[in-house]
Amino acid sequence: MSDKILLSGNEAIARGAYEAGVHVATAYPGTPSTEILENIVRYKDVIYCEWAPNEKVAVEVAQGASFGGARALTAMKHVGVNVAADPMFSFAYTGVNGGFVLVSADDPGMHSSQNEQDNRRYAEFMKIPLLEPTDSQEAKDMVSAGMDISEKFNTPVMLRMSTRLCHSMGLVELGERKEFPVKEYVTDFKQRVVIPAHARVLHVKLEKRLMKLKDYAEKTPLNSIIEGDFEYDGKKIGIISSGISFQYARDAFPDARFLKLGMSFPFPIETCRRFAESVDELWVVEENEPFIENHLKKEGIACIGKEKVPLTNELSQSIVRQAFIGEKAEPNADTSDLPPRPPVLCPGCPHRGIFYVARKLGFTSTTDIGCYTLGMLPPLEVGETCICMGASIGNAFGMEKARGKDFGKNTLAFIGDSTFVHSGMTGLADIAYNKGNIAVVILDNSITAMTGHQQHPGTGITLMGEETTKLDYVKLAGALGIEYVFETDAFNLEQITDVLKKVKELDGPKLIVNRGRCILLDIKKMKITPFVVDPEKCSACGLCFKLGCPAISSGETTEKGRRKATISPIFCVGEACAMCEQICPTGAISQP
């Protein structure tokens, strides 16, 4: 039996932070990165860790910890790096005190994201070293390696993961924690205050540092050759790859000669040149952008990459095999006719009611990033734009500016509580300051739900499990100058209807705080008496189907071909929701 244990890439990063002597860890949750901090909290005796309100704050806190002399780590999904880019670019100029690693968890294939940006380009853009593990063991070990590089070269480091690394488990050999006591803090205005006069000097230093890092990248064992003698079309093949793509390529061509790039920026061009000279033909296997390929071609090294390997979507061993040698498995059956099984709002979801009413009353609406984005699916079809965290408010307000005050009065911006704290407060300030006429709806389910229930400043509990102050949305709106503020019970359709009707008549910026806890927070403790439909009373009007509740489906069909409803006793959450009971016009839905 192996003494190694099974860890996901995210668990391995958390363990790596522990072993690397990290003292401070910060993040905002985002798939596929969330479990990194959820696992670091297991080491809270030696690592202070927090959910920050957003990724920018997360970086700034970890950056401050580094300035203060501690080893610090921050983790986020790829689009979170967009939010955090500002402090990161300056950080490359100032350098660190304690080691600093930013984990970027990219999402090729967009399993749970709005784009598939390739953040390797960010490392190059920010001019910071880039490490790319290929499995859980390397993910753990590269946290230590990254911290060492960070302190040796006085630079922040990016460690780039992707969904299939974050959420794949592999065997990992654990090590002990190495203590790195918090370093001395010395005031250094010229190093850490990036006024232009200082920054001009720091930029020159940064370029010199990159030259040294480039030498390091040419020598580091993080970049390694795996011997092989695979030939194709009479030519000896060499493959350069990094990250999870390396595993796909290795699976597809197990006998090929490989150059695995564990440190891919500064780009080790001489190492690659020597490797290219050792083979007859060079293949490059990488997901999404031609990062390696462009570096090679810029320096005149011939290779085959994106002309064969797809640029979009994630890769796999079969895609790589097919790309280079055209082999593909024959399908066993045609399954294209099967009904899809898309994700849906859960039975008992508190978002469902206000979506139902908003649609009925004919509002235009924008939406944001979270479970509630699913409100755009039939039959609710609410939320006509979704761009990035917080964009619902600016989008709705901008529409008003294009189409006039009356259009604004009929427009709702839906945003979740966690997303509101992340990026919605500034948007709300804008509609107060610039005299908007829209209503912002905070869908307050008391948790960051989509990523699997993380606390945030609106919940009153910290990541480390301590009680703390709780953000008061109503007081906040008052302080910002929002004229009309309403609070609604997310499960009370009559109250929601009254408020939304009122909103249509009121001029000025408005906020509705629609409160209802995520049903999944409580469902295990609940004693549920499911609702049932009395087929005698059901008039087959179809109103309850418009809720889009997964517990409600078609029962018997009437003579006129209309469908009566039936409720699944397994999925229904009973009186905790009761929305279908409230809208049934014939009283056919009740609890036995």
Q: How far is the CB of 286 from other proteins (least distance, A)?
A: 15
Distances (CA, A) of 578 to 27, 349, 435, 528, 544: 36, 11, 38, 12, 11
Task: Please tell me whether residue 333 binds other proteins under the rule CB under 8 A.
Answer: yes
Which of 383, 378, 406, 403 has the alpha carbon at shortest distance from 393? 383
From candidates 46, 200, 211, 254, binder to other proteins by CB under 8 A: 254
From candidates 44, 148, 154, 168, binder to other proteins by CB under 8 A: 168
Distances (CA, A) of 543 to 86, 354, 408, 439, 558: 49, 15, 28, 26, 15
Q: For residue 327, count CB atoms less than 10 angstroms from its CB and return exposed for 0-12, middle for 13-18, buried for 19 or more.
A: exposed
Asked whether 536 and 490 are in contact (CB, 8 A), the reply is: no
> CB under 8 A: which stretch of 47-55, 67-75, 78-86, 339-347 binds other proteins?
339-347
CA distance 453 to 456: 10
The contact pattern for other proteins, residues 50-89, with x = CB under 8 A and - = no contact, is ----------------------------------------
Q: Which is nearer to other proteins, 150 or 245 (CB)?
A: 245
Task: Please tell me whether residue 167 binds other proteins under the rule CB under 8 A.
Answer: yes
Task: Please tell me whether residue 226 binds other proteins under the rule CB under 8 A.
Answer: no
Q: Which is nearer to other proteins, 301 or 371 (CB)?
A: 371
CA distance 569 to 590: 12
From candidates 195, 332, 524, 560, binder to other proteins by CB under 8 A: 332
Task: Please tell me whether residue 548 binds other proteins under the rule CB under 8 A.
Answer: yes
Distances (CA, A) of 15 to 21, 73, 103, 167, 422: 10, 12, 14, 15, 27
From candidates 164, 260, 295, 515, binder to other proteins by CB under 8 A: 164
Q: Are strands 532-533 and 589-590 parallel, antiparallel or unpaired?
A: antiparallel
CA distance 28 to 75: 8
Q: Which is nearer to other proteins, 98 or 133 (CB)?
A: 133
Task: Please tell me whether residue 561 binds other proteins under the rule CB under 8 A.
Answer: no
Q: Which is nearer to other proteins, 328 or 401 (CB)?
A: 328
Task: Please tell me whether residue 517 binds other proteins under the rule CB under 8 A.
Answer: no
CA distance 475 to 478: 5
CA dihedral 542, 548, 551, 552 (to 10 degrees): 10
* Binding to other proteins, residues 113-142 (CB under 8 A): 135
β strands within 394-530, DSSP E? 411-416, 439-444, 484-489, 510-515
The contact pattern for other proteins, residues 173-212, with x = CB under 8 A and - = no contact, is ----------------------------------------
Name 96's Cβ contacts closer than 8 Å, sequence gap at least 6. Answer: 66, 67, 150, 151, 154, 155, 156
From candidates 32, 80, 228, 305, binder to other proteins by CB under 8 A: 32
Which of 434, 429, 442 has the alpha carbon at shortest distance from 368? 442
CA distance 336 to 23: 51
CA distance 479 to 274: 64
Task: Please tell me whether residue 98 binds other proteins under the rule CB under 8 A.
Answer: no
From candidates 46, 171, 311, 521, binder to other proteins by CB under 8 A: 171
Which of 36, 62, 82 has the alpha carbon at shortest distance from 389? 82
- Verify cis geometry, omega within 30 degrees of 0, for the bond prior to 379: yes
> CB under 8 A: which stretch of 232-240, 344-352, 390-398, 582-590 binds other proteins?
344-352
CA 31-36-40 angle, 5° bins: 150
Which of 493, 321, 503, 327 has the alpha carbon at shortest distance from 409? 503
Q: How far is the CB of 374 from other proteins (least distance, A)?
A: 7
* Binding to other proteins, residues 229-248 (CB under 8 A): 244, 247-248
Per rule CB under 8 A, count of chain residues that contact other proteins: 61
Task: Please tell me whether residue 420 binds other proteins under the rule CB under 8 A.
Answer: no
From candidates 195, 329, 469, 536, binder to other proteins by CB under 8 A: 329
Distances (CA, A) of 154 to 103, 133, 150, 194, 283: 17, 22, 5, 16, 34
Q: Which is nearer to other proteins, 449 or 482 (CB)?
A: 449
> CB under 8 A: which stretch of 49-57, 291-299, 428-436, 550-558 binds other proteins?
550-558
Q: At 218, which helix (H) or strand (E)?
A: helix 196-219
Q: How far is the CB of 254 from other proteins (least distance, A)?
A: 7
From candidates 344, 479, 521, 526, binder to other proteins by CB under 8 A: 344
* Binding to other proteins, residues 423-462 (CB under 8 A): 450-452
Q: How far is the CB of 424 from other proteins (least distance, A)?
A: 20
* Binding to other proteins, residues 302-321 (CB under 8 A): 316-319
Task: Please tell me whether residue 31 binds other proteins under the rule CB under 8 A.
Answer: yes
The identity of residue 495, as a single letter, is Q
Q: Which is nearer to other proteins, 65 or 386 (CB)?
A: 386
Task: Please tell me whether residue 343 binds other proteins under the rule CB under 8 A.
Answer: yes
**Residues forming the site for other proteins (CB under 8 A):** 1-2, 4-6, 31-32, 34-35, 111-112, 135, 163-164, 167-171, 244, 247-248, 250-251, 254, 316-319, 328-333, 335, 337-346, 371, 374, 377-379, 450-452, 545, 548, 550, 552-554, 563
